[in-house]
Every structure is written in C-alpha cells, then in structure tokens.
A and B are shown apart, each in its own frame.
Chain A
Amino acid sequence: MLRRILLFPPVWISLIVVVAASTLPLYVSGYILGLLTIAYYFGVFSMAWDLLFGFANEVNFGPTFLIGLGAYTAGILDNLYQPPIFVCVAAGAFAAVTGGVALALPALRMRGPYFGLMTLVAVLMLQNFVVVAAELTGGEIGLTVPDVISIDDKVNYWIALGFMTFSGAVLYGLSRSPVGLILQASGQDAVQAGALGFNLTKHKLAAFIVSAFFSGLAGALMVFYLGAASVGTFIDVTVGVQVIIGAVIGGRRTILGAAIGAVFLIAMGEALRPLGDLATFIVSGMALFVVLAFPGGLLGMVKGAREAT
C-alpha cells in the first residue's frame, strides 16, 4: 500500500521538492526565507480553497472569513490570557470551523451564485466587526501579539514548510480517496449524486469543515510568525482574491497546484517589486493569461505537455 502511494508520480515528485525546499535555509538569505514562509501559508489557504471550488464545486469568495477567524481568535486569546501558543492555534482552528459551519449551513441551501455572495458578505461583516470592536481586535491599526513561535527565520521557515507539507498530504489524500470521489460527483451533478445514494449536504458540509480547519489553522500559525494581525493581511477582500488566483493559476482540482500557484504569485510579486505599483498589474496580467490560455492552470499545462508527447 505505502509502496504504491510512494510510487505515484505526484507523491514522489512532491517529496523531492519538499526535501529540496527544506535545505534552502542552508544557502539563501533570511529575507527570502521570510517571503517563502508567508508563501507557504498562502499555499495552505489556496489548497484549502481548492477543496471547495475544485471538488465540491462551491465558489467560496470568502476564504479570508475563515482565515481571519482563525488568525484573530488565536491573536486575541494570546493577547488576553497568554495561554501556550498551541492552545491559541487550536482555538483559532476551532473558531474557523465553527464560523465555517455557521456560514455553510444556510449558504449550502442556496443555489447558484448565492452561495458565493453569502461568503463574500461574511468577509465584509468580519472586517467591520474587527474595525468596530477595536478594543479587542486592535481595529484598523492591527493587533500585536505578545508571543511568537520563534525568532529564528530558519525555524519559522521549517515550521511553515512542514505545515504546508502536512496540509497538502491530508488534503491531497482526501481528494484522491473515496470521499473525494463522492465530493466531485456531488459538485458536478447534484441530481445524479443524490440518485446514487449520496447525501450531498453532508459531504459538502464536511468539505467546508476541512477547508475551514486548514484555513483557520494556517491563519493562526501565520499570526504567531508575523507577531501581528491586521485586516490588510488576513481579512481584506484583496487577500482572498490572491488566495483564489493562486489556486486557479496553479490548477483547479489538483490541490497541489494550488500550493504551487500561491508560491508562484508571491515569488513573482517580489521579483517584480522594483517596478513599484506596476508589479501588481503585471502579476495580475500574467494570472489572467494563464487562466485564459491554460484553464487547467500551471499543473494542467505540465500534464498537457506530458500527454502530448
């Protein structure tokens, strides 16, 4: 069984990439490590999002609702009572799941674009709450947390890489498992999946919970890396857009592609930084090009090239 899994190309290729990436702290600067640390957390956001969009076929415009809940819950808890960090992180993940269920239960009853609209409204509500409840959340200035996981760039980098690897393995495994198959069928043809005896609401809700769990967990961990939380880094709609674009350019319905896309986006943004504001424009243009020319995303491009030969 294990042998069969390890021999599966996406698995061993990913393993090689992860091993190679784990050696990076030996020869790159702390600045680059810092960037990649953030990029890896975004990779988790995008992978969690792809589980919903790619498999359950539900467009969640509010990934930052889940991320923000996780980040702020962990941050506020640390600020108020300073429990061990892992307690804060667990609370963040729990909050994201609870909030996710509260959102998904009514939203999943909606058909068509309304699910997406509800998730978008949820982001705006959370954002408003953070601003209004400034005493608790730090409002527009942001929330500074007293603790960080580590002050060592390398340790932070390895934690982020390890976390992304773990999340990727779970999400990818899930997507390839029988549950993933049912989820895909539910997303593609609700009537038929029902006729095959699958309770769609149950499966979609479970997908939402898993997605929320990883989003919240990643958000909470990122707070303890940055040492601060602000609306601009965790909740703003533009952050959500970046998560979504990462998943889409990486390749819908691939999970692993989403991580590649998110890392690619952040790396490009940084590489083009000397161009100033133009950088965002160029990165957006590239994203648009990939979506138009290769609807399968970066991974789809690779697969296409392999099948063509």
Chain B
Amino acid sequence: MSAADVYLEVKGLFKRFRGLTAVKDVSFSIKAGEILGLIGPNGSGKSTVMKSILGVEPPDGGSVRVNGVEVAGWPPHKIAQLGVGMVFQHSRPLHRQTVLENIVLGLLPDKLLDFFPDPAIEARARAIAERVGLGAALDRRPSTLPFADLRRIELAKAIARNPKVVLVDEPFAGLTARETAAFAKLIGEMRDDGRAVLVVDHNVKSVAALVDRIFAMYVGERIAEGTVQEVMQNETVRRVYLGGALETAARPESAFRDAQKPFLEVHNLNVFYGKAQALENVSIHVHQGEFVAIVGLNGAGKTTLFNAISGLAPYVGEIRRQGQSLRGKTAASIARDGIVQSPEGRELFTEMTVRENLDMGGGRLKEKDRVERLEWLFDLFPILKERANQTAGTLSGGEQQMLAIARALMMKPDLLILDEPTLGLAPRIMEQISKALERLRQTTPITVLLGEQNVTFALPHADRVYVLEHARIVWEGDPSRFASEVGERYL
C-alpha cells in the first residue's frame, strides 16, 4: 500500500476540556477500502476523536490529515467539502420535506445563488435512495417512516457527496437483528466503494463482523490496536471491559426475607417511543435489601425501564411494589413512597450549592432527621462536606455524581435506582463511588437497582445481574457466572 492510499491519518491527537484531557496522543490511519472500528466505553474519548476529525471540536494538538491535507482547526464545512462524511447516530431529518428532498439536501452545492434545483441532482438522489433501500419511500415524510429508515436517510446524506472518509457513529444502536445485518451490509458497501470508514461503537462484539481492524480506547488513550481476535485477547481490554478476577460477594436469592414475594416486581413490561420499541416483555424482580444490576449497552433500554418504574414513562404491563400496583401513581408519589431515582446525567440544580441540593432532597424530613441524615451522608461522601457551600455546577464530574446519589439518599429511599453512575468518570473516582456503595450494602437495609454498561463496576456490588439487550432481558443470574456465560458480549 502506498502512502497515497491513506485517506485518513490522525497523529498525536490531543483534546482538552477545561481541566480534563479527553483525548491523549491518539494516532491511527485508515486506508482506502478499509474499515476501522474505534471502540471504548462511555467517556473513553472516542466521540471526541470523531468530533475532532469532523472539525466540530477542533483539536488542541496533533494532526488530522484527510487524503494528505492537514485539516486540524478547519471549520466543519471545509472538512466536509474536502471529503469527510458523517453518519449521525441520532437522525434529525427535515420533517416538512420528503425523503427525496432530504437526500437532495446532501447533494446541494454550498452556494448562495442556487435558486433552481438541478435535475441531475434529483436523479442522483434517487439513485442513492435506491442503493440504501429507500427507493419505495421517496415521496414520504420522515415522520411516517420506521426508525431504521430514518437511519437510512442519514446514511444516504453522508455518502451523497461521495466522501473519501466516512465516520459512522454507533451504527446499530436501537436496530433489530435483521436491520443490523442490513446496515452492516450497507457499511460494507462503503468499503467496496473504496472509502475509508471509521465505525465508532462501545464494544468489539457489535462491530466485530464488520471491521478490518480495531482501535480500542480507554479514558482518552489507546489501549489496544489490531485485528478483532488480537483486541479481544488483549489483557488491558479484558480488564477494562470485564474487570480482573472478579471478587463477587453475591447473596443468594433465598437469603432474602421476602424470597417468595419480592419487594419490586416488573411483569411483561412493554414501552414504545413512537415507532421504536424501547422495552419488550421485560420482567424483573428485586428483593428487599438486594442489590440488582441491570447491565446493557447504550440504547438497550435501561433508562426506559427505570423511568417506567419511577412513573416517568408510559408502559404496558405491570409494576408492583410489595404486591401493590404502581399504575396510575404520579412520579412524585412514587418517589415520596420510597422509590427514588438518581438519574443518568445527574440532573442537579447546578446554580444551587451542594448543601442546598441536599436540602432539596431532604425537604420532607423533620429537622432532626435531616441533620442526622446529612451527617451520615457527609460521612459517606466526605468530599461533599468540604464542598458544601460551592455551587453544584462547579463540582467535578465525580463529585457531581456523588452529590446526585447523596441527594437521592436524602429522601430515605427504600429502593434506590442508580442509572449509569459511572458515566464519564475516571477509574479513581469510580473506586470512591464503589466504596460508598459497598458501605451502603454492608451497613443499611437499602435496596438498590443499578443500571450500568460498565460491567467491571456493576458486578462486584451485585447480588444478581440481568442483561438487557435490544429492549429484552437476555440473561439473568449470579455475577460469578457472568464472565463465562455472557462476558464475550461485553468485549
């Protein structure tokens, strides 16, 4: 292969956000007709790498060359015009326009005096639509199309300008197995067309069948690079995704007092978001005092499940707390009765101080109880005591997460739902949160339902694990059996 065939070359890429270094010295290159999988857990910096290539987040250091041209620091439209296309994960088509018009958009020149549509453009748009499987939907509006077809529109727009380099963000999120196969084929065709393709996803497994090589990242740095097999056998990768030798301290289900009648029962839950089915016949149960982990990748349906339990998402099916149906109860009354969620993204009152945030959580407690509870929480998370008078927005990510958990605990919950508490956190911070969770488990009667895609974090705390995949529960069991039975899926 000569150097001329290298369509994308990233060298020594650096990107910092305020104090945090999101990408550290990342280098890789992709040749014409090659697919590279860029993988890493949430917060590993892979999206930032993609945005740097695209020019949305100009890099702070290093070089990005597209077909030999240095583009670091260029505005996105210039980079796009040079031959970089992007398939976005979330599709936001123009809703008043037809599918055809949406694809035409991708083909239009960046000119101000282009008042009359060029018939050649329409013909090309039709050809592209045919190719991505939208031939029958040309005159329909995007809002009438199924989810997978909306993704096809994104794909069509991305290849419209015949780019040399295509970036694909989580191509399979939210797709069924059949749609996944169809999309893999379409991405494979980009390789056959001689494009350089970068597919970004969370784990090896989801892109294994598609890619030629894999580049694995963790907290902003390269941890492994090579073929699918090489990366899957890499020690660091295994440790990041599966943890080392797991020390689990799971308590058997029979050990709980309510072994016969679980504290929380979710039965045949179905949730739809418009056309996409977010949960399909999901049934789980949680005993009083038990720590249950729901493990699943982004888009698997974890947050939807928690929102349904918290009364925030409409559902079909049954959710019972100690035998009593929660249907018809408002989110506020469910929370007051002791099912409290610490949501993904934390949702803190960022303009209020740490102390005020906690007081909001404990608003319904008696003065004496509140003071006591606050003492106890400051003991659990000492850093929050130091920061008590700081506004929540100025805290680091880890401190904010601790505050979110503490605020939820102020409500004295019977069941605490933790949605992705480790999202975007450094390993050292995760450890602190991990210790706090372990203390909760050892010293309080609290029940915890933990949603995580970070298996390493979730397993050591769990008494029982559910695996949620594409809206369905696909595995349930003891954490010690996890690695051998389903671990491969999480590499």
Contact = CB atoms under 8 A, between A and B. Distances in A.
Interface residues of A, number: 25
B92 A194 contact: no
Given A181-B97, A181-B104, A194 B80 contact: yes
Which of A174, A181, A184 gathers most chain B CB within 10 Å? A181
Contacts of B97: 181, 184
B115 A196 contact: no
A105 to B, nearest CB: 16
B20 interface: no
B161 A196 contact: yes
A174 B84 CA distance: 28
A196 B97 CA distance: 17
A195 B92 contact: no
Contacts of B81: 197
Interface string A190-222: 011111111110110010000000000000000
A184 B94 CA distance: 8
Interface in B92-112: 92, 94, 96-97, 101, 104-106, 108, 110-112
Contacts of A197: 77, 80-81, 110, 161
A127 to B, nearest CB: 32
B75 interface: yes
A152 interface: no
A105 B373 CA distance: 54
Contacts, number: 78
Chain A binding site: helix, strand, loop or mixed by DSSP? helix
A288 interface: no
Contact of A191 (B76, B94, B111): B76
Contacts of A185: 94, 105
A203 B112 contact: yes
Contact of A181 (B56, B92, B101): B101
B75 A194 contact: yes
B80 A196 contact: yes
B244 to A, nearest CB: 39
B98 to A, nearest CB: 11
A228 interface: no
Given A182-B105, A197-B110, A192 B94 contact: no
A199 B110 contact: yes
A157 B97 CA distance: 36
6 contacts: A178-B108, A178-B117, A181-B101, A184-B94, A185-B94, A197-B161
Closest 9 CB pairs of A and B: A194-B76, A197-B80, A195-B86, A197-B81, A177-B115, A178-B114, A199-B77, A178-B108, A189-B92
Interface of A: 173-174, 177-179, 181-182, 184-185, 188-189, 191-200, 202-203, 206, 253
